[in-house]
Structure 1
Amino acid sequence: MIGVFDSGLGGLSVLRSVRDMLPGQDLLYLADSAYCPYGPRPLVEVQGRALAIGRWLVAQGAAVVVIACNTATSAAADLLRAELPVPVVGMEPGLKPAIAASRSGRVAVLATSGTLGGERFASLVDRFAGGAQVLTVACPDLVGYVEAGDLDGPEVRAAVVGYLAPLLAEGVDSLVLGCTHFPFLRPLIAELVGPAAAIIDTGPAVAAQVARVAAGSARGVGALRCVTTGDPAEVAVSLARVWGGPLPLSWASVEI
């Protein structure tokens, strides 16, 4: 079984990529909705939540743990790799492919403050930016819209326009979706930018890495189970909107 977690529903974008690539694997997804979003939380708190969830997933039988959250990866990937007895796969914004796709040399990373302010992201920029101009935009409110299942309403549309218009005016032609919530807004973003900018989502690349890591683990029957630390009745409504249909959802207690 592969265990996948995020602060909320954003990691479902990664889960879908993993499921598409590994349809025979059993998957367990945990949305830490009671603590969503991770972005504005203190580093030590995100580390504590990530480690507790990682241990919980291993206790449920996970042979691989996937941190389907850029903020949690930045804060706690090294910690989980040191503490958990199974392989851990994390996320990082797709800066390298974004720069490769850019003609103007101007790329933008849309993410949370927790991701953009982390040492892991700073290292990413140092390694791959080269002569490119990397603009960073913290978009914490977009997480809230996705968590509410609002992917195309007037408020989220206005928010996305507010983020994108200045970037396009500055000649940005490559956009990195640096939060796993944002791929659910990709149709809206693509509509608004048209052919003016490439849109980079690292979910498929993460799924490919999961496939490599999980190659030696026992295969399942393709079962999919979702749990949340929040109120399942409330989370289920948004989950169905984001996923495109209902999924079985139950409550899980994960204490630090």
Structure 2
Amino acid sequence: MSTSPLPHDAPVGIFDSGVGGLSVLRHIRAQLPHEHLIYVADSGFAPYGDKPEDVVAERSLTIARFLIARGAKALVVACNTATVAAVKLLRARFPEMPIVGVEPGLKPAAATTRNGRVGVLATERTLAGAKFLKLRDEIAASTGATFLLQPCQGLADQIEFGELDSAATTAMLERYIAPLLAQGADTLVLGCTHYPLVQASIEQVIASCGARGVVLIDTGDAVARQLGRLLEAGGLLRHVDAQVPARLEGYTSASATALSAAFNSLVGIDPPVQETDFAERSTVGHI
């Protein structure tokens, strides 16, 4: 837990392999507007999806320690791959700290689908993970839903590069989404936190395929609600303080300029950002 004498006033730490977690941060800011936040984009180590699970777990532990050293009272693992690899480890190492992970929204998708056919867009590592496959089997058995799995190689990288509506990104989306729609999927799970950032392009591809009434499932809202529940249960919700507005700061293992641009274009804000290697000392990037 935070060592702050007023732990409720401490920040919430959020991290992802890059800018994808900003889709989760948007929901957290909307639902918990008084909370101080620290966002870490590990873009210098991205993508996580092509690295061994133990490497991602160790990296996640390093970033968690970095955030805790900066007073974080709770952690949000805003990355599906890191959640699969590390959330169990993080909870074991920091048992007193609220820790929220993300996972593809199979349960809400099964409750939403009208014809029982759900497409799941995610990274190859997420779809191959034992935790995901166990969840899929359990929900399929209890609901009768059929989950059509579509690995989206390279899509998170395109989003990380800022190509949200480029021709290359659109072609990639068509290649991944069209087969799911052809198989009758009426619900699509956005199983990587990067993917909601191209929701407009996804909707255009769905429309170009002639599909109607397709529902997109983004779990960022559920993550923010769970964080709020855990903070309230632990007495850690920050009190409203008109004199001290909520702060947001960012850290990145790559370019501070790039993360600042992502904050501006994807969230519409301009917080201070620093470059760091996640050791104790950081170098100032954009302030």
User: TM-score, normalization: structure 1?
Assistant: 0.95
Cα distance, 1:81 vs structure 2? 0.2
2:132 corresponds to 1:108: no
Percent identity among equivalent residues?
Answer: 45
Q: Select 2:103's aligned residue among 92, 96, 116.
A: 92
Q: 2:231 maps to what in 1?
A: 214
Q: 1:172 maps to what in 2?
A: 185
- Higher mean C-alpha deviation, range 208-217 or range 24-33: 208-217
Cα distance, 1:132 vs structure 2? 1.9
- 1:56 aligned partner, one-letter code: F
2: CA distance between counterparts of 1:201 and 1:241? 19
Cα distance, 1:218 vs structure 2? 5.3
- Higher mean C-alpha deviation, range 191-200 or range 108-117: 191-200
Cα distance, 1:239 vs structure 2? 4.1
- 1:241 aligned partner, one-letter code: S
Q: What do the CA deviations read for 1:24-43 (whole angstroms, capped 9, x no partner)?
A: 00000000111111111101
2: CA distance between counterparts of 1:218 and 1:252? 28
The 5-angstrom pairing of residues 182-201 of structure 1 reads: 182-194=195-207, 195-201=212-218
- Higher mean C-alpha deviation, range 113-122 or range 44-53: 113-122
- 1:95 aligned partner, one-letter code: L
Is the alpha carbon distance of 1:243 and 1:13 closer, same or farther for their aligned partners in structure 2, counting shifts above 3 Å? same
Contact 1:148 1:238 in 2 (8 A): no
Give unmatched runs, 5+ long, in structure 2. 1-10, 240-244, 280-287
Q: 2:272 maps to what in 1?
A: 248
Q: Which has the higher contact order (CA 8 A, sep 6+)?
A: 1
The 5-angstrom pairing of residues 123-134 of structure 1 reads: 123-130=134-141, 131-134=144-147
User: TM-score, normalization: structure 2?
Assistant: 0.85
- 1:219 aligned partner, one-letter code: R
- 1:253 aligned partner, one-letter code: D
Q: 1:83 maps to what in 2?
A: 93
Contact 2:14 2:40 in 1 (8 A): yes
- 2:248 aligned partner, one-letter code: L
- 1:121 aligned partner, one-letter code: F
CA RMSD in angstroms, aligned pairs only: 1.6
- 1:210 aligned partner, one-letter code: L
SS at the partner of 1:140? coil
Q: 1:232 maps to what in 2?
A: 256
- Higher mean C-alpha deviation, range 3-12 or range 148-157: 148-157
Q: 1:8 maps to what in 2?
A: 18
The 5-angstrom pairing of residues 147-166 of structure 1 reads: 147-166=160-179
- Say which one has the larger Rg: 2
Aligned length: 256
Give unmatched runs, 5+ long, in structure 1. none
Q: 1:135 maps to what in 2?
A: 148
Structure 1 residue runs of 4 or more that deviate by more than 4 Å after TM superposition: none
Contact 2:43 2:252 in 1 (8 A): yes
1: CA distance between counterparts of 2:177 and 2:192? 16
2:72 corresponds to 1:62: yes
- 2:47 aligned partner, one-letter code: P
2: CA distance between counterparts of 1:192 and 1:24? 37
Q: Select 2:128's aligned residue among 117, 128, 137.
A: 117
Contact 2:122 2:190 in 1 (8 A): yes
SS at the partner of 1:20? helix
Contact 1:67 1:91 in 2 (8 A): yes
Contact 1:10 1:182 in 2 (8 A): yes
Q: What do the CA deviations read for 1:18-68 (whole angstroms, capped 9, x no partner)?
A: 011111000000001111111111011100011111111111011000000
Contact 1:146 1:242 in 2 (8 A): no
Contact 1:32 1:228 in 2 (8 A): yes
Cα distance, 1:248 vs structure 2? 2.4
